[in-house]
Structure 1
Amino acid sequence: MAYDPKLVAALSGATLRQLAHWRKTGASQGAVLMPEISGTRPVLYSFRDVVALWTCVSLRDDAFLQKIRRALDTLREDLKESDHLSSCTLVADGSIIYLTAPDQAVDLVRTKGNVVIHEMADVLRPFYRDGRHIPDLLQPREHVAVDPAIRGGVPVIEGTRVPYDEVAALLRDGIPPERISDYYPSVTASAARDAADFADYIDSYDPRRREPRWASAG
């Protein structure tokens, strides 16, 4: 599954401007994250990229980007961490960013490389960023799920392989939620509404945002 920047922004909480900025490298600092699939147009991210970006955005609640970059530099240069950033669990606590493990954590900023005891944190939990509610990455809506083992990670109606956007497109074309089961028997009206709501949320990251039309259907 290849994720375009708009879907990545909706799932991770990053803005399109941030994604573009974080792909850049400079003389004194490397990119926060370069997409695994394509760093040039069309820019395409992997599911691992989305998880890594979620981590970076969630860290911004407690740390400036400069500090996050410093932590990433410590990971890559001092600790020689070569795995994808998505494999690392990073948490911020005041002035410190930790690389955490089940029984310990490594200070990546203040005293680089020092092992400290720190409680594990779930970096995939919902959070707020700039007034937006960024949903649970793996369960962005009650009836919408993201699983890299199903359709490569494209969001689907939970318990099915039906992509959310195919259901949302039907509602936008005027099909009432209660009639979606005529097209997809496994999709309930509630699930259809969730798919449409999630599609509207993703479109909110597009400057050409469209108003939801499904709500007035039938």
Structure 2
Amino acid sequence: MSYEPKLAAALSGATMRQLSHWRRAGKSGAVLVPEVSDRRPILYSFRDVVALRACVRLRQETSLQKIRRALNTLREDLGEREHLSSYALVTDGGSIYLAEPDQAVDLIRGGNVVIHQLVDVLAPFYQDGRRIPALLSPREHLTVEPAVRGGEPVIHGTRIPATEVAALVRDGIQPERIVDFYPGVSAEAARDAVDFSDYVDSYGDSAPRQVAA
């Protein structure tokens, strides 16, 4: 399973504009280049989505310039070449730190400081007034697990794609009748599938809100 930009945006909280901007290399390199495909069709991996969520959380409190600078320090000065999702990056607004079990490396100013609290990038958060859902449970009856259909959102406890359930409801099948097509899928789960699909589609609006990159 790979994620098209619209779904990657919906699961990460990044805007489509940010995804495009972050793919482009600045003086310090790109923030994140999709590891599945960085050319059309552009496709992101599950690890990319985790990393994007971290970048969105960092961007809430610090500038993109600092993020690029911190990533350049991480990659070039420290020689860390693993996928960005492998690292815990936190900020206090003034600097960005590579968090380790008992300390954190300051990626902007150099040196070590102690970090007492790390941000859980998998947990829900708010971005520009929009609630970004928990990555592994974007709705009460939906789950995202890399080991299940490669991370495609599915009905909880099944391998049934949420998009297929949502498509049936949008075609006129009542949520209460979804069980006739997919035994074990409740009406509540079907409604969650539609609600989540509507949320994902909102990232494909032709005129998205303008936000800072």
* Equivalent in the alignment of 2:160: 162
Aligned residues: 206
User: Relative contact order: is structure 1 or structure 2 higher (C-alpha 8 Å, sep ≥ 6)?
Assistant: 2
Residue 15 (1) aligns with residue 15 (2) = yes
AA matched with 1:29:
S
Q: Distance in 2 between matches of 1:132 and 1:80?
A: 36
Q: Does residue 102 of structure 1 match 2:123?
A: no
Q: Which residue pairs with 1:182 in the alignment?
A: 180
- Tell me, in whole angstroms, the C-alpha distance in 2 between the residues paired with 1:175 and 1:105: 53
2:112 aligns with: 115
Residue 14 of structure 1 aligns with an amino acid whose one-letter code is A
Residue 171 of structure 1 aligns with which residue? 169
List per-residue Cα deviations over 1:129-166 (Å, max 9, x = no partner).
11211111111111111100110000111111111000
Q: Which moved more, 1:53-62 or 1:94-103?
A: 94-103
Give the alignment of 1:16-165 within 5 angstroms.
16-26=16-26, 28-109=27-108, 111-112=109-110, 114-119=111-116, 120-165=118-163
Answering whether residue 205 of structure 2 is matched by residue 207 of structure 1, we say yes
Residue type of the alignment partner of 2:143: A
Shift of 1:25: 1.3
Query: 1:208 Cα deviation (Å)?
Result: 5.2
Tell me the TM-score normalized by structure 2: 0.93
Once the two structures are superposed, residues 149-191 of structure 1 have per-residue CA deviations (whole angstroms, 9 ceiling, x without a partner) of: 1100001111111110000001000111111111111211111
Amino acid corresponding to residue 20 of structure 2 in structure 1: A
Query: What is the CA RMSD across the aligned residues, in angstroms?
Result: 1.3
* CA–CA separation in structure 1 for the residues paired with 2:91 and 2:137: 23
The offset of 1:115, in angstroms, is: 2.2
* Letter in structure 2 aligned against 1:13: G
Q: Which amino acid aligns with 1:62?
A: E
Amino acid at match of 2:179: S
**Deviation (angstroms), 1:121:** 2.7
Cα distance in structure 2, aligned partners of 1:128 and 1:121: 13
Identity %: 66
Shift of 1:42: 0.4
Dislocated runs of 4+, deviation >4 Å: none
Question: How far off its partner does 1:3 sit?
Answer: 0.5
Query: Aligned partners of 2:181 and 2:202: how far apart in 1?
Result: 27
Q: Deviations over 1:18-75 (max 9, x none)?
A: 111111114x221111010111100011111111111001111111111111111111
- Give the whole-Å Cα distance in 2 for the aligned partners of 1:15 and 1:94: 21
CA distances 1:60-117 after superposition (whole Å, capped 9, x unpaired): 11111111111111110111101000111111112021111222211111x22x2221
**Contiguous gaps of at least 5 residues in structure 1:** 210-218
